[in-house]
A and B are shown apart, each in its own frame.
Chain A
Amino acid sequence: QSALTQPASVSGSPGQSITISCTGTSSDVGSYNLVSWYQQHPGKAPKLMIYEVSKRPSGVSNRFSGSKSGNTASLTISGLQAEDEADYYCCSYAGSSTFVLFGGGTKLTVL
């Protein structure tokens, strides 16, 4: 199965809100509320930001939120800050044969 589809890049100014989309199919994103999002700064390990579509792990800012509609999941970051500049990856359960799929990643630039 193909990776989930994310925009290659998004940008926003400090204080603004941005949304990153993650498009899958009815076999993955559309079938399960099991989408997670990861933030990765250059040279660092990924960090879990959102799981099960909209749940936030302890310690993650409430400026980060997740949602899903049909085959597309979204990550919204409000009140953009310089430290939010990073790569973001979505991930979805895709059934017992494929198991888990990642998106191709989105580079967020804070202008």
Chain B
Amino acid sequence: QVQLVESGGGLVKPGGSLRLSCAASGFTFSDYYMSWIRQAPGKGLEWLSYISSSGGTIYYADSVKGRFTISRDNAKNSLYLQMNSLRAEDTAVYYCARVGSGTWRYYFDYWGQGTLVTVSS
């Protein structure tokens, strides 16, 4: 079955960096687009970034553009999010999500359990 397991979250000071990882299994990772989505405590979902199956097409939300970098290693079945210049408002649970297949790849059909990032001094 499809499994997505995030790791790398934790406590970091404002201005610091963190790298999140998402290990995928149960499907052919290299066939699927992937995304990162976050949820601040008690708040709604916020889409952050999207990467095509080859890594050649990438999109970012304005809130993280220039600070966060999405990447993937298809040989390792892994997705990454490098987060730099972290701010208090980046505190959230970060989810890795598989993008649905088909002509229109704009929905998320499987989600990981999330990893908590806390930005605080």
Enumerate chain A interface residues (CB-CB to B < 8 A): 3, 32, 34, 36, 38, 44-48, 51-52, 57, 89, 91, 93, 96, 99-105
In the complex, which residues 11-53 of chain B have their Cβ closer than 8 Å to any Cβ of chain A?
Answer: 44-47, 50
Q: Is the CB of A51 within 8 A of B100?
A: yes
Selected interface stretch from B69-77, B80-88, B111-119: B111-119
Q: Within the assembled complex, what's the spacing in Å between the Cα atoms of A57 and B32? A: 17
Q: Which range holds the interface residue count of chain B? A: 10 to 19
The CA-CA distance from A38 to B111 in the complex, in Å, is 11
Given A48-B110, A57-B109, 12 other A-B contacts at CB below 8 A?
Answer: A3-B44, A45-B111, A46-B95, A46-B111, A48-B107, A48-B109, A89-B45, A91-B45, A96-B59, A101-B47, A102-B46, A102-B47
Nearest A residue (CB) for B45: A102
Interface of B toward A, CB cutoff 8 Å: 44-47, 50, 59, 61, 95, 100, 104, 106-114
Say yes or no: A93 contacts B44, CB within 8 Å: no
Which of B95, B104, B108, B111 makes the CB contact (< 8 A) with A34? B104
Q: Are B106 and A36 neighbours in the complex by a CB distance under 8 Å?
A: yes
A9 vs chain B, min Cβ distance (A): 13
Partner of A36, one of B46, B50, B61, B107: B107
Please, could you name 30 A-B residue pairs with CB atoms under 8 Å apart, sorted by A? A3-B44, A32-B106, A34-B104, A34-B106, A34-B107, A36-B107, A36-B108, A38-B108, A45-B111, A45-B112, A46-B111, A48-B108, A51-B100, A51-B107, A52-B104, A52-B107, A89-B44, A89-B45, A91-B45, A91-B47, A91-B108, A93-B104, A99-B47, A99-B50, A99-B59, A99-B61, A100-B47, A100-B106, A102-B44, A103-B44
